[in-house]
Amino acid sequence: MALGAIALLFFVGLLSSVVPNIPLVVAMVPLLKEYIVNAGFVGKEILDPNFAGQLPVAVLPLFYAMMYGATLGGNGTLVGASSNIVAAGIAEQHGKRIAFSTFLHYGIPVMLLQLATATLYVSVAFLRG
């Protein structure tokens, strides 16, 4: 479970740097549900669109990892989050254009550090034991 959560966090994080995070999560939730059914963690009832039950605590780290990856991954590129685009627009209005490559120079290391920190958090908070 730990390796899956960490891999998912980084995979979704990297995808989120180029794909908007809300559509990415909307697409990933059914895939993640299918995975946990196929892996035998839960029954097929969670695949029902009207499912209103609780997921087992054991699979929650996967969903938290996906959430953190999608949220933090957008910080890596100028187009990864709408707030990045807004900030670049405001900077340009004040005569300070932020080039895509300049944003990458700072954004990618920050994003990787954030994903590593989220990995530690998910590992300690949800995967102990």
Backbone angles phi, psi at 96, to 5 degrees: -120, 85
Inform me whether the pLDDT recorded for 57 exceeds 90.
no
Q: Where are the domains of the chain?
A: 2-49+56-126
pLDDT computed for residue 8 by the predictor: 95
Please tell me the pTM assigned to this model: 0.86
Inform me whether the pLDDT recorded for 53 exceeds 90.
no
pLDDT computed for residue 129 by the predictor: 56
CA 51, CA 79: separation in Å to the nearest integer?
Answer: 34
What's the pLDDT tens digit per position in 65-109?
Answer: 999 999 999 999 999 888 999 999 999 999 999 999 999 999 999
Angle at 61 between CA 108 and CA 1, to 5 degrees: 100
CA 90, CA 51: separation in Å to the nearest integer?
Answer: 43
- How is residue 44 annotated by DSSP? G
CA 127, CA 129: separation in Å to the nearest integer?
Answer: 6
Q: Which residues contact 18 (CB under 8 A, 6 or more apart)?
A: 77, 79, 80
What's the pLDDT tens digit per position in 106-119?
Answer: 999 999 999 999 99
Considering the chain, what is the average pLDDT of its residues? 92
